[in-house]
Structures are given as C-alpha cells and as structure tokens.
Amino acid sequence: MATLSSRKLRPEPLLKNIKKPGRKPSFRKPSHKRGPDRFSLRHLTKAILEGNSEEASRALSRLKGNAEILTEIAKYAKYRHTRIAAVALLQDDLQSLIELAKYSPKRDTREKAVRMLTRHKGALVIVACSSHYSDTRLRAVFKLKSKYHLLSRVAISSDFKDARSASVGFLLKKPEQLVRVASESPHPNTRKEALRALGKSVHALRRVADSSQYPDTRRGALKVLSNMVEELEDPEVLLEVAKRSPFAECRYLAVSNLASDNNALLEIYESSQFKDARSTAMMLLSDSTGKLKDTELLSAVARFSPYEEDRYQAIERLEGNGKTLASVAASSKYKDARLAAVGLLVSDLDFLREVSTVSKYRDSRAVAHNRLGEDEVFEGELTRMLDEHPIKRR
C-alpha cells in the first residue's frame, strides 16, 4: 500500500498541463503529425499542380481578384479542371478573358473564355478580329450571328480571312451590311465575297457601283449589273449601266431601254465616259425633237444633234427664248445651228451683245457684231442710251 510520501514523489501526469498563472497551455502537435496548412503558399501551389479538383478549387478561390495569377494558371496549368476554374474566377475581368481567348494555347481555356464573353459583344468582335486561333475566331463570329452591324465590322476589320468569310456568310440576307463591306473592306477577296452574296440585289449593287472607294469593286458591281441588263427595269439602274458599264453591248442595251426617257438620255449624253453611249443617247433624243417641249432638251438637240434637220427644228421651236438661243449661238459645235440661232436674235440686242462677247466661235461673234453695228440699230441704241442718261449742259 502506497504511503503519502510516495505519492508526493510521483505526481500525476495530468498535472503537467494545468494552467499556471501568466502562462498559456500549449497543445501543438509535432510537425510530423500536423495536417496541411491550407493558408500557406506551399499548399496553394501543391493543390494547383496536383490533380485533386476539390483541393484546386478551394485553393483558387483564395486567388479571386488576382487576375494576373489566375490568367497565368488558366493558360498553363496542367489539368483542365484547374484551368476552367481559373477562367471562371475571371468573370468580371473582360481584359483578362479577351487575352485568354486571343492567346491561350489551351483550346478548352479559350472556349470557356469565349462563353464567358457571350454578353459582351464588343469583346467578341475583338476576339473575332485578332485571336491567334481559327476555332476561337469562328466561335466568336458564331456568337455574333444576330448582330449584323458587328458582323460587318468583323468582315471589314479582321486580319484573318476565315473570320471575314464567316461574317459575310451570316450577312447573306442583309444587303445594307453587305454594301458596307463591299464599299469599305480593304481586303479584295472579302469585297468579292460581299458582291457575290448580294446576288441580284439591283439597288444594293448600284450603291456599291456608286459608293465603293475601290475601283475594282465598282467595276465588279457594274459587271454584275451589266450581265443582268436584259432583266433590269429600274430606270436609275439602267442609267448607271448606260453611263458606266465597261461592256459596249450592255451600254447599248441600257441606252435603248431608256429610249422613251428623254431626261435620262440627256444625262447619258452629258455625263457618260463612253463616246458610243453619248452618241446613241443623242441620236435617240434627236428622234423625239418634234415632241419635245422642255427648253433644256431642245437646247441640247440644237447644239449637239448630228442631224441638221433636227437641229433646225429645235431652233425653230426655241424662237422667242432669247437666252437659250444665245446659248446655242455661243456654244453649238455646228456652224449652221449657231448662225440660225443668231438669225432669230435680230431684235434681241442684249442677247446679241452677249453672243458677240462670249461666243467661242468667230462666225457667230461676227454676225452678232455686224448686226449691232448696222446704222439703224446703232442709231436707235445710241438714242435710247442718251435718253436714259441725259448729258448736263455746261
């Protein structure tokens, strides 16, 4: 039986952890028995590098808000689930998502980045125009398929043919945007695709022929219209073909189809760059001289018609219109027309003075000058002027 003295010599082990005044008890385990420190950088790195998805997710959640580190992990981490989780944590950082979609070597990372950019159409345009990877560019274009104005931007601005072609493909039923692409794109192949996509959209092709800043595209649009000339009914489109088509046969057909539109014929004569189109238009206009009432049309026939009979007829119908007759006398390229016009101005002295001064041709100037110098005319004009400006007596 133990005695009291022996108990004092052997104290209970539990007494060692009794709190002493001013000292806190320690229960730390030895290092070889401790669990992992989930707040250490070593544990974060280990969780990211290893394949445990739960551990990686917990570790990545501690990096939320650190875009630079998350972007690096999303680009180069070994495991797919780690990369995808890193991208998901970048949902509010558009710049980082765009960078991943453009440059990440991992396809799954790029796909996830593009999905997260779905609501940000401007960012998708950037990806479609400049991503280094074809699959990503096309995925971005697909997500823009109902945003036609943005698709036209991609078709115009992208450095990559696949993105431009895909964008034009989604614009097939949008002639307004196709016209924009054909008129503004700096890429010849894309402009040609836009023209093909316009098909037989006559008014859109005419706009391209008018407004494209590229001569080859304007010629291409005119060529398409020229091939359709027998089907064309719109006078404005026929007028464009007649004035500018590079094909003589098509110009002739277009002018012939406008034979009943005298104003169009006059415009062709005045502005077509092709001599054959101008000649055909003036011949057709001359055939209608007997029906013409418009002063401008009659003046054009009087000055430029190749037929003498039609010129005389037009000048006779202009009798009494001194201003127009003076214009004919001063500018017609045919001498008979000039002299006939001056002959009808014998009583319009003001217009005779105009002809004697501004006419490009000596014959009409001489006739006008001689008429103004006749004794009777000169005396009458001098008397009139003296009456209007009486001389004061000294």
Cβ atoms 197, 209 nearer than 8 A? no
- ∠ Cα 120 83 107 (to 5°): 70
On the question of pLDDT at 141 being above 90, the answer is yes
What band does 390 get if pLDDT is binned at 50, 70 and 90?
low
Cβ atoms 71, 90 nearer than 8 A? yes
On the question of pLDDT at 140 being above 80, the answer is yes
* Choice between 49 and 119, residue whose per-residue pLDDT is larger: 119
Question: So what's the pLDDT on residue 385?
Answer: 63
On the question of pLDDT at 17 being above 50, the answer is no
What band does 386 get if pLDDT is binned at 50, 70 and 90?
low
Question: So what's the pLDDT on residue 37?
Answer: 46
The whole-chain average pLDDT of the chain stands at: 82
Once rounded to an integer, what is the mean pLDDT over residues 275-283? 92
181-217: pLDDT as tens digits: 999 999 999 999 999 898 888 888 888 888 888 989 9
Assign residue 359 a region (left: φ > 0; alpha: ψ between -120 and 50; beta: otherwise).
Answer: beta
Question: So what's the pLDDT on residue 48?
Answer: 72
- Give the separation between CA 177 and CA 195, rounded to whole angstroms: 11
- Give the separation between CA 110 and CA 133, rounded to whole angstroms: 9
Cβ atoms 258, 264 nearer than 8 A? yes
What band does 18 get if pLDDT is binned at 50, 70 and 90?
very low
Once rounded to an integer, what is the mean pLDDT over residues 233-259? 87
Once rounded to an integer, what is the mean pLDDT over residues 383-394? 63
- Give the separation between CA 118 and CA 112, rounded to whole angstroms: 10
296-324: pLDDT as tens digits: 999 999 999 999 999 999 999 988 888 89
Report how far Cα 310 is from the mean position of its chain's Cα atoms. 47
Amino acid at 242: A
On the question of pLDDT at 278 being above 70, the answer is yes
* Choice between 194 and 18, residue whose per-residue pLDDT is larger: 194
On the question of pLDDT at 369 being above 80, the answer is no
